[in-house]
């Protein structure tokens, strides 16, 4: 058991180094995405901090990492806990910024993104900024957004430069779903 514990501790050292390197990349991209989607100036930076906890099981000490998200308020330059202090809409934008950063950092061959109600509790300016930002992502060939928010249709219609693609409306019919193509560009 002692040898296994030594191997685990060595692994944790390597893991910490790799995590630090990757978190730097992720946080940089996350800040870029956040600055593109969140159009207000009350927060100007995001950070991910790691909290290490020790757990004792079967007389062995194990470490556990907890990731905490912070946002920097511009009014006083204080870092606040995203989970405790931000609104639901702001939390959604932070989560999207994190997921898009992961999408960009890690290699893959995925050329599409599917978002289901991506930004509830967020105003039109931020929704428009989200559409604009993801439409400019060179890695994406297709964007699928499932939403009950008809405002997205207006955003797609109004965005400059114009987007190419189509918008479908799905509704319940008596016997089967009704699918309508409502916008083609």
pLDDT bucket at 4, cuts 50 / 70 / 90 = confident
Place 166 in a pLDDT band, splitting at 50, 70 and 90. Answer: confident
Q: Chain-wide mean pLDDT for the chain?
A: 91
C-alpha closest to that of 129 among 38, 31, 29, 28: 38
Domain positions in the chain: 2-160
**pLDDT of amino acid 77:** 98
Over the stretch 120-145, which tens digit does the pLDDT of each residue have? Answer: 899 999 999 999 999 899 999 888 88
Tokens of 101: 């950063």
The DSSP call for residue 51 is E
> Has this prediction a pTM greater than 0.75?
yes
Buried/exposed 88-110: b ≥16 CB within 10 Å, e otherwise: ebbbbbbebbbebbebbeeeeee
pLDDT at 112: 92
Q: Which CATH architecture has domain 2-160?
A: 3-Layer(aba) Sandwich (3.40)
pLDDT for res 90: 97
| CA angle at 97 for the pair 32 and 121, rounded to the nearest 5° | 125
Q: What is the pLDDT of residues 49-106, one digit of tens each?
A: 999 998 888 887 778 889 999 999 999 999 999 999 999 999 999 999 999 999 999 9
Average pLDDT over residues 163-172: 85
């Amino acid at each position: 058991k002692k040898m296994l514990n030594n191997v685990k501790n060595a692994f944790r050292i390597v893991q910490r180094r790799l995590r630090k390197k990757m978190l730097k990349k992720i946080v940089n991209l996350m800040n870029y995405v956040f600055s593109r989607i969140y159009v207000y100036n009350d927060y100007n930076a995001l950070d991910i901090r790691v909290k290490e906890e020790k757990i004792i099981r079967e007389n062995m000490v194990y470490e556990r990492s907890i990731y905490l998200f912070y946002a920097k308020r511009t009014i006083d330059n204080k870092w606040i806990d995203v989970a405790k202090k931000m609104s639901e809409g702001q939390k959604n934008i932070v989560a999207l910024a994190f997921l898009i950063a992961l999408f960009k950092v890690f290699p893959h061959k995925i050329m599409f993104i599917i978002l289901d109600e991506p930004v509830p509790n967020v105003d039109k300016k931020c929704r428009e900024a989200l559409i604009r930002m993801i439409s400019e992502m060179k890695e994406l060939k297709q964007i699928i957004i499932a939403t009950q928010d008809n405002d997205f249709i207006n955003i797609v219609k109004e965005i400059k430069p114009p987007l190419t693609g189509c918008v479908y409306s799905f509704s319940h019919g008596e016997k089967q779903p009704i699918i309508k193509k409502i916008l083609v560009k």
